[in-house]
A and B are shown apart, each in its own frame.
Chain A
Amino acid sequence: MSSNQQVLVDGFATALAIPAEQVTDTLAYNSIPQWDSIAHMTLVAELESRFDVMMDTDDIIDMSSVAKAREILGKYGVTFD
């Protein structure tokens, strides 16, 4: 796992208060009770802090899954190779 992938997983686990093993690409909002509209906000703040980026509102709204988060962060120069 790349270091940024680990940071991403840790960010999701911390923000949603779930085990890291639960953070898979298919994890999406509404798929677990912990990821609601409030946790969504916490998650964005957590990822912005860990990757030192500031996302547009459209990207915040579009960040609907772990895979989508990685895709969006890629637009801000974060690599996951």
Chain B
Amino acid sequence: MTDREVKPPVTLSGYQVTLRDVARDDLEMIRNWRNDPETRQHMLSQETISPEQQSAWFDRLQSDPCQRQWLILYRDKPIGVASIKSVDEGVPLDAASRVEPGLYIADLAYRGNILAFAPTLLMNDYCFGQLGASELQATVKEDNEAALRYNRKLGYREVEHQSGLVRIALGPEDYEVSSAPIKAFLSRPVRR
């Protein structure tokens, strides 16, 4: 893939949610979510995003083989954003051994809900199962106990503490064992 080619879309569905590629029409909604102080406080960057920055980010995203950004849909309603990017700079996702997933649930109705695990399960399954990644990594603020608890539940282990940040990592075996009970809750029959 050259830098100018637009990536083919990837849609993931399961565990009651759908992840579809972020579209231009989603940008203002996502920018408002991202700039919300409640969401921003947990981000590594505290900078607010302008419409121009958001548009430029989207333009780069279209042809960037090293990352993917999805809108999370539950019952056809957008509730947040999920992302993956290659840890090693310049390595396309389909060749990456280390991938960094990201997630925020913007809809407060689902933040303390088991549903918050669903997009992560889809992404992790995709990274380990489809992309063939050998490790997932994330960096979390040391004081973000909720995110650390969430990731520990998925099998992540703490690798390094530095400057108020914690680097955590997850391999496919730990993920498989740790995610099984969560998947069981989110894979039961639905009423509809």
A58 at interface, CB cutoff 8 A: yes
Chain A contact residues: over half helix, strand or loop, or mixed? helix
Known: A37-B116, A38-B153. A60 touches B185 (CB 8 A): yes
List of B residues within 8 angstroms of A54 by Cβ:
188
Q: How far is the CA of A6 from the CA of B185 in the complex (A)?
A: 25
**Chain B CB within 10 A, most for which of A30, A33, A39:** A30
Chain B contact residues: over half helix, strand or loop, or mixed? helix
List of B residues within 8 angstroms of A61 by Cβ:
16, 110, 113-115
Size of the B side of the interface (Cβ < 8 Å), in residues, is: 25
Which single member of A30, A55, A59 contacts B111 (CB below 8 Å)?
A: A30
Q: How far is the CA of A37 from the CA of B108 in the complex (A)?
A: 12
A25 at interface, CB cutoff 8 A: no
B190 at interface, CB cutoff 8 A: yes
Q: How far is the CA of A61 from the CA of B16 in the complex (A)?
A: 10
Known: A29-B112, A30-B112, A35-B112. A57 touches B186 (CB 8 A): yes
How many residue pairs between the two chains, A and B, have CB atoms under 8 Å in the bound complex?
62
Size of the A side of the interface (Cβ < 8 Å), in residues, is: 20
List of A residues within 8 angstroms of B150 by Cβ:
36-38
| Complex contact A41–B181 (CB within 8 A) | yes
CB-CB contacts of A45-67 with B at 8 A, as 1s and 0s? 00000000011111111001000
| Complex contact A41–B114 (CB within 8 A) | yes
CB-CB contacts of B105-146 with A at 8 A, as 1s and 0s? 000111111111100000000000000000000000000001
* B residues in contact (CB < 8 Å) with A: 16, 108-117, 146, 149-150, 153, 181-182, 185-192
Q: What are 26 of the A-B contact pairs (CB < 8 Å)?
A: A29-B112, A29-B113, A30-B108, A30-B111, A36-B112, A36-B150, A37-B111, A37-B112, A37-B114, A37-B116, A37-B150, A38-B149, A38-B153, A39-B112, A40-B112, A41-B181, A54-B188, A55-B188, A56-B188, A57-B189, A57-B190, A58-B190, A61-B114, A61-B115, A64-B109, A64-B113
